Amino acid sequence: MNRRTVIKNLALVIGGAVLLPSCLRKDGTSYVQLKHISLDGDQQNLIADIAEIIIPKTDVPGAKDLNLPAFVLKMLDDCYNKKDQLAFLAGLDKFNTLVKTKYNSTFSDLSVKDKEAVLIGIENSNKPKAGSKAPARRPKPQKNMAADPLNAFYWSIKQQTIFGYTTSQFFMTKEIFYDMVPGRYNVHFPVSKLKLKLA
C-alpha cells in the first residue's frame, strides 16, 4: 500500500469507523504501511492491544472497532520527530521486557485484568508526589515526567488513542452533541444535554 492509499483508506476508516472491522491480521502482517518508523506486525498488534485496554469495547465500540490503532500509527509515523520515534521504539522494547519479566508472557497473551495491571502500573509510577503543588490547569501527563522511554511509549499511545477517540465520528456524533453548524450561541446550555446518552 502506498501512502496515498493509506491516507485514502484511513479517511474511509475514519469516515465509516463503525462499519469497517479492524484490519489487524492474525498472521502478524502489518496493516499499516509506515514510512518514517519501523514497526512490524507484532509491534503494531501490541500497540492495538494497548489502545484496546485504554478504550475497550463496552456497550459501544472500542479502539479496535474504531480503527484507532491505525490513527495512532499514522500520527507516530507522520507527526513524531526522529528523536521521539527512537524513544518510542526503545520504550516498546522496555515494555515487552517488563511484561516478560513479570508474567513470562507477551502482553497480548495476558488476561484483560493483567493487561490493565501493567498499564495502571505505568500510570501510578507517574503520579505526582504527595504534597507537590497542584497544577494550575489540567495536568498534561507528558509534562514533567521522567525522561523514561517507557513513558514515551505508553503516553504516546494513550494520548493519540484518546485524541483519535474524542475526535472520531463515532464519539462526536454518538457520544456527545457536536453540531457542525450550531447557528447560534447559547450560554445557558446544560452539560446534561451535551451527553447524548443522558439527553
Applying CB under 8 A, among 90, 98, 145, 162 the residue interacting with other proteins is 162
The residue whose grid cell reads 478504550 is 55
Whether 55 and 62 have beta carbons less than 8 Å apart is answered as: yes
- Rounded CA gap, 179 and 49, in Å? 32
Q: Which three cell numbers stand for residue 42?
A: 507484532
Applying CB under 8 A, among 18, 20, 75, 86 the residue interacting with other proteins is 75
Strand partners, 58: none
Site string for other proteins, 17-46 (x = CB under 8 A): x------------------x----------
> Any contact of residue 104 with other proteins (CB under 8 A)?
no
- Tell me if residue 112 falls in helix, strand or coil: helix
Q: How far is the CB of 173 from other proteins (least distance, A)?
A: 9
Nearer to other proteins, 26 or 83 (CB): 83
Binding residues for other proteins, how many (CB under 8 A)? 60
Residues lying near other proteins in the complex (CB under 8 A) are found at: 7, 10-11, 14-15, 17, 36, 53-56, 58, 62, 74-75, 78-81, 116, 119-120, 123, 134-139, 158, 162-169, 171-172, 175-176, 179-195, 197
